[in-house]
Structure 1
């Protein structure tokens, strides 16, 4: 397992069991820090909760069905990771390579491991990697979508329906902030996935021998208190982000859906994590990762150690 992978944490109860269903906006003042004010948000739907207990710190329209874009790749990743055998090679097919619009440029006939494609999908939101993983897992996109829907029910997500593994808009595909919170907690409890979403860069070796350095699409990773998860955007969904954070002994996860301006998604997610973690101004100022050498060391730590498959 990669040096970047974090240690396993004990499994905690399903998130949705503690997610209220009513009232458009609720702030849990008992669990928030004295003097802390909840952030003002433009997001259409939000849930902020304690990663261990599932206690809600802030919620807004969390049961509203809507598109969630590429954040649903977290569910795709969970199913693939739980299936195991991640060093098994996958031969790319033409249908995988034709997935629009964000992709690695995979070509038919190339071979990559499940682990490499899983990492690329989570960090760079590669739709061709998602298509290959889904086909490998269930033989077709439709069959994999059925697995996604069954797994969501197991996670007690009751207001979701998935049609593809990547979050590209299709009729009949939707979820909620509450349901995606359930997925996020399951991913956070999975040591391999939690390690991947916390990586800032990854060396992806193409079949021609060239290395493509993939930078994580999650800009909040420049702050040391952020430790993952997944971005998403389509015109219908708006800008979406599921972000997790840790400061001292406290760990929280925020689900933010439907922000209209890209720059706002980072500000709103950052303010939610800071609010949930109870960070003081001087702690926030010291939390930014400023060393490029640290970023390079982080990338080197997550290089694949075994390249025995044909790339």
Structure 2
């Protein structure tokens, strides 16, 4: 039988095996006060659970975070500045939400329609609520919708970009700069996997935004009565049963990008992959999401 002191040391060392692998993240803070009581069953279980290394991914940049604590679980080139395509629409959504009036009616202008390639084909003079436009922006990633929201909220595309940069700075996104609301290529527009994970965490914590990003499909009614059924661009919503968001993005410069989130049991995770490709973007994201939430000991 172990002496009490030796048993306590063994238990504390054994429980350290439960800690997930961290790449690029700061170590967890040391708790203050006396250590929590450790049971014999917990210690034995911890001593027998093998550490599971993160899976290899093809994406050039990636990060996995716990959205509750903000802790980084895995990182790969997380601070490399690069285009992030439509994943920056998460920041657009946050700026729109900050107005506090998402039921305001927006009248579409001809300037809103001047974008390609993904569009909802809004017509000048149509009227829609910010809420409906934001829902479609998160599900279908329509660039004309992004321009309409930006003009309505910021007065112009340039004015809204300034709001995006102020919001990014307030969140602690230190290596980002935005020029438009939709992520189409623009000079001096960039972010990082770490920064976009910060925006994603804020979006995930918004009940309204997350309710939109979790939709597998939605309908949209044009002012002339036409109704469109729109399928979410995030295929992980169908591949992983506990996936609940968040946003896709694709341009030639950015490659295939995906910010995904999921909750399993009492644990949640956000996964960002940037500069992946069509053959790997879904597998990269699924592997990291499953690793973060399904590996042995993750429920702890």
- Map of 1:132 onto structure 2: 148
- Map of 2:274 onto structure 1: 257
Q: In structure 2, what is the Cα distance between the partners aligned to 1:43 and 1:59?
A: 11
Equivalent residue runs for 1:7-156 within 5 Å: 26=24, 34-156=50-172
- Map of 1:275 onto structure 2: 291
Q: In structure 2, what is the Cα distance between the partners aligned to 1:228 and 1:86?
A: 20
Distance 1:163 1:239, change over 3 A: same
- Map of 2:13 onto structure 1: none
- Map of 1:294 onto structure 2: none
For structure 1, which runs of at least 5 residues remain unmatched after alignment?
1-24, 281-311
1:244 has 2:261 as partner = yes
If the length of structure 2 is used for normalisation, what is the TM-score? Answer: 0.81
The C-alpha deviation readout for 1:101-156, integer Å capped at 9, x for no partner, is 10001011111111111011111000000000000001101010000000001001
Q: Deviation of residue 27 (structure 1)?
A: 8.2
Q: Deviation of residue 29 (structure 1)?
A: 11
Could you tell me whether the CA contact under 8 Å between 1:28 and 1:58 is conserved in 2? no
Q: In structure 1, what is the Cα distance between the partners aligned to 2:170 and 2:114?
A: 32
Could you tell me whether the CA contact under 8 Å between 1:197 and 1:229 is conserved in 2? yes
Q: Deviation of residue 278 (structure 1)?
A: 2.2
The C-alpha deviation readout for 1:246-273, integer Å capped at 9, x for no partner, is 11111000111000x2131100000000
Q: In structure 2, what is the Cα distance between the partners aligned to 1:120 and 1:126?
A: 7
Q: In structure 2, what is the Cα distance between the partners aligned to 1:65 and 1:199?
A: 30
If the length of structure 1 is used for normalisation, what is the TM-score? Answer: 0.79
- Map of 1:199 onto structure 2: 215
Q: In structure 1, what is the Cα distance between the partners aligned to 2:71 and 2:25?
A: 11
Q: Deviation of residue 35 (structure 1)?
A: 4.1
For structure 2, which runs of at least 5 residues remain unmatched after alignment?
1-22, 29-48
Q: Deviation of residue 211 (structure 1)?
A: 1.1
- Map of 1:235 onto structure 2: 252
Could you tell me whether the CA contact under 8 Å between 1:47 and 1:178 is conserved in 2? yes
Q: Deviation of residue 204 (structure 1)?
A: 0.5
Could you tell me whether the CA contact under 8 Å between 1:29 and 1:57 is conserved in 2? no
Q: In structure 2, what is the Cα distance between the partners aligned to 1:163 and 1:66?
A: 14
Residue 224 of structure 1, aligned match among 221, 224, 241:
241
- Map of 1:164 onto structure 2: 180
Count of residue correspondences: 255
Quote the RMSD (CA, aligned, Å): 1.9
Q: In structure 2, what is the Cα distance between the partners aligned to 1:216 and 1:81?
A: 21
Could you tell me whether the CA contact under 8 Å between 1:28 and 1:57 is conserved in 2? no
Q: Give every structure 1 segment of 4 or more consecutive aligned residues whose post-TM-superposition deviation is greater than 4 Å.
A: 25-30
SS at match of 1:263: coil
Q: Deviation of residue 37 (structure 1)?
A: 2.7
Q: Deviation of residue 171 (structure 1)?
A: 0.5
Could you tell me whether the CA contact under 8 Å between 2:25 and 2:71 is conserved in 1? no
Of the two, which has the highest radius of gyration?
Answer: 2
